[in-house]
């Protein structure tokens, strides 16, 4: 029913890790999602916009607005300048041209036109959103909620570093975003996402048929270097529509900026006087995968 649909703005660095495309597949398949628009961020954002459009068109969704955003971090050097998964673009129809740096203005206008209604979902470096919140400080309060795949907090998984990619790609923008105060902020970090993995062969099987085949072909670039897909971004995405997959703890998140070696570290204090951030601390992987593929089939 129309009243059950949830409006979502997606900000993504699609084209590097395959999980962004997996998350977009979910949004395009979820009948309760009103995908208000997509904005792209980090190196070659226009190519990332082409990939987002190619997936949307594969799902018969030429109507979704897509805007290219910031190509470089605010202050630190670029960590992901290239778009490895661009190789599929020669095989799938997509829009070729995207105006530069329209993402922030699009986000601002969309949120201001529907105060208190929109969920902002960020699954890439936070440059676009940091710029948005800095240029228009009223915007965070006009959101329904901000859901982000970003950070690593208390129980760091084995083999993971002290920091998380989306935060360290632009720590200064991340500090702006974590310093903002939307009505609800949900932070899905590596503690929970690394528990949701799928081997390459199973992934290939599940993403072999149209319209999902484009994502399976994009994943082949990913599998050249890694044998599994971790569903970081899809986990944060599904939690918008299926509460209960994740459990949360309230606290205060602050981003380390002073230390060169630890820049981008996310400090989580569950005992702070102010606790504006809901940090994911538990996950039901089986329930997540069951729900994801119930929607994406």
Please give the structure tokens belonging to residue 223. Answer: 């599998």
If you average pLDDT over every residue of the chain, what do you get? Answer: 96
What pLDDT digit, counting tens, does each position of 27-59 carry? 999 999 999 999 999 999 999 999 999 999 999
d(CA 179, CA 198): 34
Q: Report whether pLDDT(218) > 50.
A: yes
The domain in which residue 256 lies consists of 2-295
CATH of residue 184's domain is 3.90.245.10
- How would residue 156 be classed by pLDDT, with cut points 50, 70 and 90? confident
What is each CA distance from 64 to 29, 36, 155, 295, in whole angstroms? Answer: 13, 7, 38, 19
Q: Tell me: pLDDT of 91 over 80.
A: yes
Residue 260 has pLDDT above 90, yes or no: no
**Integer Cα distance of 107 and 281 in angstroms:** 29
Rounded Cα distance, 6 and 114, in Å: 12
For the segment 186-200, the average pLDDT, to the nearest whole number, is 97
The more confident residue out of 155 and 222 is 222
The yes-or-no verdict on residue 93 having pLDDT over 90 is: yes
Question: 1 pLDDT band (50/70/90 cuts)?
Answer: very low
What confidence score (pLDDT) does residue 154 get?
80
How many structural domains are present in the chain? Answer: 1
Residue 78 has a pLDDT of 97
CA 260 from centre of chain? 25
Q: Express each pLDDT in 114-151 by its tens digit.
A: 999 999 999 999 999 999 999 999 999 999 999 999 99
Residue pair 136/110 in contact by the 8 Å Cβ criterion: no
Using alpha carbons, list the distances in angstroms from residue 248 to 146, 196, 275, 285: 14, 17, 12, 15
User: Could you tell me the pLDDT band of residue 96, with boundaries at 50, 70 and 90?
Assistant: very high
Residue 42: phi and psi, rounded to 5, are 80, -170
Q: What is the pLDDT of residue 258?
A: 93
pLDDT score for 161: 77
C-alpha 175/C-alpha 12 separation (Å) is 18
Assign 16 a pLDDT band (cuts: 50, 70, 90): very high
SS3 state of residue 216: helix
Beta-sheet strands, E only, within the chain: 6-12, 33-40, 66-68, 119-122, 145-149, 185-188, 197-199, 228-230, 246-255, 266-269, 277-283
Count other C-beta atoms under 10 Å from residue 100's C-beta. 12
Give residue 158's pLDDT: 73
What SS3 state is found at 172? helix
pLDDT digits (tens, 9 = 90+) for 224-254: 999 999 999 999 999 999 999 999 999 999 9
**Cα–Cα dist 256/273, whole Å:** 19
């Amino acid at each position: 029913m129309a009243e059950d649909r949830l409006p979502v703005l997606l900000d993504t660095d699609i084209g590097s890790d395959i999980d962004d495309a997996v998350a977009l597949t979910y949004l395009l398949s979820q009948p309760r999602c009103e995908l208000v628009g997509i904005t792209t961020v980090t190196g070659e954002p226009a190519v990332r916009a082409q990939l987002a459009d190619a997936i949307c068109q594969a799902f018969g969704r030429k109507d979704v607005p897509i805007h290219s955003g910031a190509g470089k971090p605010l202050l630190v050097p670029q960590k992901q300048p290239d778009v490895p998964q661009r190789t599929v673009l020669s095989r799938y129809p997509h829009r070729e041209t995207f105006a530069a740096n329209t993402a922030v203005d699009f986000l601002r206008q969309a949120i201001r036109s529907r105060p208190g209604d929109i969920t902002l979902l960020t699954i890439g470096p936070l440059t676009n959103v940091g710029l948005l919140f800095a240029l228009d400080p009223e915007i965070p309060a006009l959101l329904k909620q901000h859901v982000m795949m970003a950070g690593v907090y208390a129980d760091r998984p084995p083999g993971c570093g002290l920091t998380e990619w989306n935060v360290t790609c632009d720590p200064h923008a991340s500090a702006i975003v974590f310093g903002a105060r939307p009505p609800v902020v949900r932070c899905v970090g590596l503690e929970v996402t690394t528990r949701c993995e799928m081997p390459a062969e199973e992934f290939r099987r599940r993403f072999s048929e149209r319209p999902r085949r484009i994502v399976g072909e994009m994943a082949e670039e990913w599998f050249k270097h890694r044998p599994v897909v971790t569903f970081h971004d899809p986990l944060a995405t599904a939690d918008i529509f299926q509460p209960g997959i994740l459990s949360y703890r309230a606290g205060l998140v602050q981003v380390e900026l002073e230390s060169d070696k630890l820049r981008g570290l996310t400090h989580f204090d569950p005992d702070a006087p102010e606790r504006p951030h809901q940090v994911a601390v538990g996950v039901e992987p089986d329930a997540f995968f069951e729900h994801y593929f119930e929607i994406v089939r």
